[in-house]
């Protein structure tokens, strides 16, 4: 790697040349004749005219070029007491066979396939098999409820759903099939088939005529070759929460994605081909797509597929055990995981059982990393701890201390500097640039580099309105932050009503919709407040209908169950408070941000548009009574 400043400036001043050079690092069926183009709506595309196949890059290329017997995936599942190691050749053959299953059911290039599966090898096979034949997969996290799955089915309109009989959360078995059946019943679009992988730990009931058994189909399947696709063809759709309650289908293309994934492994994470890389996330999230499945395999690494938790599977030393046993070089996880380990084993006694000398870097992302957690991990592990920032929309890091170069000095609380390709600015509401240390909107000057979303699934208008219209010629990230005098960027949090629960980006609008449906509720607000373990957790504030008599505890119990059923346990919705009034602007907008600041103990400025300033005193009393946020234990 050359000098960061030189490469960064080249990537901003001449993105075409910079990314065409990076595109030469992957194998194309037809090399792209150009880098950046724009369509009739002015939306950017990368490598139009190039042809490739992502599965070929991840598997077949390595089998043909000396890595056939190298381990591709290590499946480590403490919840089932299973470790399975699979080589590039073995994985290629299994994927080619399952691609034959899909082809035999009439799945073709461009068809959508929804994947609702846990952290098992078959999930990786399912994703790569879709990529192999040019089908567009949409993975839905196994913790989402039937309603959320139904919404995604109706938007993506899949021909097929790929499922497992269930997932395992620590020692609890979660049966997926009843959720899938309920989702299909609720959805307007009806997929033709559901293929179910029956896990030994639990068996799903099958619906005759629609449901098919994974293993039975594999018996008669024929191996299928990779299908060339255009660089601009979609590889996958991944839904992320929107403030309207309707999820946004983030589209990831094949060409730009593959180039960025290959580039990022060395440039951002400092990883070489053949190294063992572990992203301790879930394939249901963008981290799992990018850095459990695609990037490590495209780069020729061995990737860890971990089915467990940082604690209780069996204890807070499980991460150190995995690193020691499999010789992990780079670990990427969420600050929540580190906080959970710290809480269980603050002195790091369990680490002493393991030799983790293979570990060279710890990367953190998914939520803001607090300084205490950062320092604890750095002191305990004795390796660089790199807090970096990115989104589902980008697909890879936008800010990072890039390990492919000599590391910058770290500033705890900052994700350091922009990654090559990202012209990150801080803007005021009038489109002018903020001064150093002045907080504003975090935006990226267009064009975005490869792998960033080119649009939303079948919704160019919403893409433009959500991301491009707030600031002309910029991508609006939705996050607030500031730059210091040295150009270090500090992300301070969302500027909308999307919250981050343990790295899971969730819409408070979704939860409010559920809370508002309760027969006793006249109006409500759900806002995310700071939580030591999870980063943020949602809290519901409700105003009762006139004449309704129900206790706070009874209402809380009912609403918790409703949100769990409709949104999923992943929402971690556990607190409800009854209020006489909610603070609003004169136009009727509930001041959720102010409520969040009160709960977090942050200073705030009274909005000039507030309709009822005295209600904030009432909110404080409500929070004290229910021991919410900074008022915990002070009632």
Contact indicator for 94, 120 with CB cutoff of 8 Å: no
pLDDT score at 589 = 64
**What gap in Å lies between CA 45 and CA 43, rounded to an integer?**
7
Considering the four listed CATH numbers 1.10.1520.10, 3.30.230.70, 3.30.300.30, 3.40.50.300, the one that applies to the domain covering 498-631 is: 3.30.300.30
The overall average pLDDT reported for the chain is 92
Question: pLDDT digit string (tens) for 302-318?
Answer: 999 999 999 999 999 99
What band does 606 get if pLDDT is binned at 50, 70 and 90? Answer: confident
Q: Which CATH class is domain 4-308+388-468?
A: alpha beta
pLDDT score at 245 = 58
- Mapped onto helix, strand or coil, the DSSP state of residue 583 is coil
Mean pLDDT of all residues in 324-329 = 98
Share of the chain above pLDDT 90, in %: 74
What band does 570 get if pLDDT is binned at 50, 70 and 90? Answer: confident
- Mapped onto helix, strand or coil, the DSSP state of residue 262 is helix
Tokens in use for 410? 């770290």
pLDDT score at 177 = 96
Share of the chain above pLDDT 70, in %: 95
Question: pLDDT digit string (tens) for 200-213?
Answer: 999 999 999 999 99
Is residue 362 predicted with pLDDT exceeding 90?
yes
**What gap in Å lies between CA 80 and CA 211, rounded to an integer?**
25
Tokens in use for 556? 């809380």
The closest of 610, 622, 589, 399 to 492, measured between CA atoms, is: 399
pLDDT score at 492 = 75
- Mapped onto helix, strand or coil, the DSSP state of residue 442 is strand
Is residue 37 predicted with pLDDT exceeding 70?
yes
What band does 344 get if pLDDT is binned at 50, 70 and 90? Answer: confident
User: So where are the chain's domains?
Assistant: 4-308+388-468, 498-631
pLDDT score at 288 = 96
Mean pLDDT of all residues in 43-69 = 98
| CA 92 and chain centroid, separation | 26
What band does 608 get if pLDDT is binned at 50, 70 and 90? Answer: low
Mean pLDDT of all residues in 170-178 = 92
């Amino acid at each position: 790697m050359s000098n960061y400043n030189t490469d960064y400036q080249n990537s901003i001043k001449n993105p075409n040349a910079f990314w065409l050079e990076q595109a030469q690092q992957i194998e194309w069926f037809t090399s792209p004749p150009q880098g950046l183009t724009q369509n009739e709506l002015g939306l950017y595309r990368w490598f139009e005219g190039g042809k490739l196949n992502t599965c070929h890059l991840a598997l077949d290329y390595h089998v043909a070029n000396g890595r056939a017997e190298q381990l591709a995936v290590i499946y480590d599942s403490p919840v089932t007491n299973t470790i399975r190691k699979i080589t590039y050749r073995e994985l290629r053959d299994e994927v080619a066979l399952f691609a034959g299953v899909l082809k035999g059911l009439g799945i073709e290039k461009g068809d959508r396939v929804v994947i609702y599966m846990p952290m098992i090898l078959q999930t990786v096979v399912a994703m790569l098999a879709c990529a192999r034949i040019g089908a567009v997969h949409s993975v839905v996290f196994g913790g989402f409820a039937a309603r959320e799955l139904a919404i995604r089915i109706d938007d993506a309109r899949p021909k097929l759903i790929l499922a497992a009989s269930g997932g395992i959360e620590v020692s609890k078995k979660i049966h997926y099939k009843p959720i899938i059946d309920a989702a299909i019943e609720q959805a307007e679009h009806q997929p033709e088939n559901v293929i179910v992988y029956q896990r030994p730990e639990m068996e799903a009931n099958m619906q005759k005529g629609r449901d098919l058994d994974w293993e039975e189909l594999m018996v008669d399947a024929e191996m299928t070759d990779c299908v060339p696709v255009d660089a601009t063809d979609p590889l996958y759709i991944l839904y992320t929460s929107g403030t309207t309650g309707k999820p946004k289908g983030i589209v990831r293309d094949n060409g730009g994605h593959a180039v960025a994934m290959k580039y990022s492994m060395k440039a951002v994470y400092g990883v070489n081909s053949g190294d063992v890389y572990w992203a301790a996330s879930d394939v249901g999230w963008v981290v799992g797509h990018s850095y459990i499945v695609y990037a490590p395999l495209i780069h020729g690494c061995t990737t860890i597929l971990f089915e467990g938790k940082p604690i209780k599977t069996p204890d807070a030393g499980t991460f150190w055990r995995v690193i020691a046993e499999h010789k992990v070089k780079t670990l990427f996880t969420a600050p929540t995981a580190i906080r959970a380990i710290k809480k269980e084993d603050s002195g790091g006694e369990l680490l002493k059982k393991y030799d983790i000398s293979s570990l060279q870097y710890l990367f953190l992302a998914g939520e803001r990393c607090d300084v205490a957690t950062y320092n604890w991990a750095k002191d305990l592990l004795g390796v660089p701890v790199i807090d970096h920032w990115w989104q589902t929309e980008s697909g890879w890091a936008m800010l990072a201390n890039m390990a492919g170069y000599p590391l910058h000095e770290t500033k705890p609380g900052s994700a350091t500097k922009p990654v090559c390709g990202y012209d990150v600015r801080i803007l005021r509401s009038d489109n002018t640039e903020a001064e150093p240390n002045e907080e504003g909107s975090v935006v990226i000057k267009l064009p975005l580099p490869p792998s960033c979303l080119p649009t939303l699934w079948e919704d160019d208008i919403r893409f433009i309105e959500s991301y491009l219209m707030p600031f002309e010629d910029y991508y609006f990230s939705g996050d607030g932050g500031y730059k210091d005098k040295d150009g270090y960027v500090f992300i301070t949090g969302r500027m909308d009503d999307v919250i981050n629960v343990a790295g899971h980006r969730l819409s408070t609008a979704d939860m409010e919709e559920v809370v508002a449906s309760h027969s006793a509720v006249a109006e409500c607000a759900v806002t995310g407040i700071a939580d030591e373990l999870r980063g943020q957790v949602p809290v519901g504030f409700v105003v009762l209908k006139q004449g309704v008599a129900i206790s706070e505890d009874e209402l809380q119990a009912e609403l918790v169950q409703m949100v769990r059923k409709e949104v999923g346990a992943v929402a971690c919705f556990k607190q409800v408070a009854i209020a006489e009034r909610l603070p609003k602007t004169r136009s009727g907008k509930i001041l959720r941000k102010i409520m969040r600041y009160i709960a977090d103990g942050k200073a705030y400025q009274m909005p000039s548009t507030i309709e009822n300033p005295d209600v904030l005193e009432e909110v404080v009393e409500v929070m004290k009574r229910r021991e919410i946020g900074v008022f915990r234990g002070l009632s």
